[in-house]
Amino acid sequence: MSIEKSIKIRGSSKQSFNKDIYYSSGIMWEETSNFLNELSRQKWKSKRIIGFFLGYSMYLGIGGFEGEGIGRFVIRLIEGLLDNDKEALIIILTNNQNYHVIEDAFKKCISNFPNRLFIESFKSVDWINKNIPVDIWIVPYIGMELALWLKKPFIVCLHDLVYMHFEEMYKAMPNFYDEFTCIANKVAKKAVKVVFNSNFIRNNEGLKFLKLPKWKTHVIRLAPPKKEYETINLYDEKAFRDKYNLHNKYIVYPSVIRYHKNHDRLIEAFLKFRGTKEGYHSKLSLVLTDNYLNRPKQKEIMTVLNKCKDINLRNSIIFLGRLPSNDVPLLYKYAVGTIIPTLFEGSCPFQILESLTMNTPVAMSNIEVVKEIITDIDNLITFNPYSSEEIQKAIEDLWKADDLKLKEQKKATLDVMTRTWADVAQEYQTLIEEVIE
């Protein structure tokens, strides 16, 4: 979820969420009663009940949960926890406006784990405290202020505080910097444990910025979605290309447009590559999974596009918008390569793991977290994300990448790629047991 969007909904820092006003008006109380009865019937079978608190302050929109990194993280973690512990129950609590969004995102998971995964819309946090018998909560986003009123202990996941690394970008947004920092401090202080995906984020966000005691922090790295992607229907390439009108070879950057995602510099570098003799004859397209209108960097992206006077080259930049989650693996599979020019990430970028899972080579920014997690970085296509010349060279290298380069990349990332979501879930399970017992 976009942290800046979360703040816009909330208003000024003098205002605060009322923990009692999130009513579940769209859910009939007969349904809620049935849910609680079913839960009580299942409870005796279960060693523990884990709650996931998704108290977002905004409407996520169709596909707005699983289309974001945090959403995919939550889905994969829940599947791993249920897979590992056959006696565990998990309850997802969300506000009414997002109930159907969350329900849709977990349809497959619910069918795979009948009577073990429940989704409920909450009336208020007090109602949750009185009626939902969890042993512990997992709060997957540090900006969920409503978590402050949960009575049972909770573990919070701090993926990153991107704004502290780009103060000038985010301080331009009224009230944002100070307000979000205040929320993050309070949530992290109340949490029994704060989980990070990398040492880089623990050291910077956790220990230096929020000044958390080291005993309260824990690093659990993420994993590629191998099991998830193996079960997706990989339909015919022609049908996929026809569906999205992708008839030329393409490289892809699967990411929403945000200030630090570097789309404008990537587009500039790509157009420079297409302007070379080799690039022009390649007929290569750049596919982006967002639309730049009414997005951060709209002005910069429009400036770069308008500088290109060749309509054919300009049309080689394709803004697909968000894809259904089942089509994302295909987007990787049929691409020449995946490029990730981000200026910052809190963990090994999902796109690296997802792309290599689908046997598509990658080019990536040489940011600190990548250097930490992928130790054999010399055998990868890397670049300085602030240099359009280096990005252009990376695009050229990606265009030329062959099966040998893919094998080199898979060898270089072997430690990362052999990790599974069962491993991730087991580390969370160990942490949960430590907290509860």
Going from N- to C-terminal start, the domains of the chain cover 3-223+421-436, 226-417
Residue 338: helix, strand or coil by DSSP?
A: strand
Q: Please give the Cα distance from 339 to 282 (Å, whole number).
A: 17
Chain-centre distance for alpha carbon 261? 13
**Which one-letter amino acid corresponds to residue 207?**
L
Q: Can 3-223+421-436 and 226-417 be said to share one CATH topology?
A: yes
Instruction: Report the topology of domain 3-223+421-436.
Output: Rossmann fold (3.40.50)
Nearest Cα to 220, choosing from 105, 80, 407?
80
Distance CA 77, CA 71 (A): 10
pLDDT, residue 63, reads 72
Rounded to 10°, the helix 263-274/298-307 angle is 10
What pLDDT was estimated at residue 23? 36
Q: Are strands 250-253 and 154-157 parallel, antiparallel or unpaired?
A: unpaired
Residue 26: what pLDDT? 38
Q: What is the C-alpha to C-alpha distance for residues 347 and 370, in angstroms, rounded to an integer?
A: 7
C-alpha dihedral (253, 256, 258, 263), degrees to nearest 10: 30
**Which are the contacts of 36, defined by CB distance < 8 A and separation ≥ 6?**
131
CA-based nearest residue to 285, from 328, 332, 325, 336: 336
Output the pLDDT for position 37.
53
Considering just the CA atoms, what is the radius of gyration of the chain in Å? 22
If one counts every other C-beta atom within 10 angstroms of the C-beta of residue 37, the result is: 10
Task: Tell me yes or no: is domain 226-417 CATH 3.40.50.2000.
Answer: yes
Sign of CA dihedral 425, 75, 192, 93: negative
Mention every residue, 6+ apart, whose C-beta is less than 8 A from residue 80.
420, 421, 422, 424, 425, 426, 428
Q: The tokens 């977290």 sit on which residue?
A: 369
pLDDT tens digit at each of 437 positions of the chain = 443 333 332 233 333 444 443 333 334 444 555 555 555 545 545 568 999 999 988 888 877 787 778 889 999 999 999 999 988 999 999 998 899 999 999 998 999 999 999 999 988 999 999 999 999 999 999 999 999 999 999 999 999 998 888 877 766 665 777 788 899 999 999 999 999 999 999 999 999 999 999 999 999 999 998 888 887 777 889 999 999 999 999 999 999 998 899 999 999 999 999 999 999 999 999 999 999 998 888 999 999 999 999 999 999 999 999 898 889 999 999 999 999 999 999 988 889 999 999 999 999 999 999 999 998 888 899 999 999 999 999 999 999 999 999 999 999 999 999 999 999 999 999 999 999 87
Full strand arrangement of the beta sheet holding 154-157: 117-121, 89-94, 49-54, 136-139, 154-157, 193-196, 217-219
- Give me the pLDDT at residue 171, please: 66
Q: Which amino acid appears at position 30 of this protein?
A: E
Taking the C-alpha atoms of residue 311 and residue 304, their distance in angstroms, rounded to an integer, is: 13
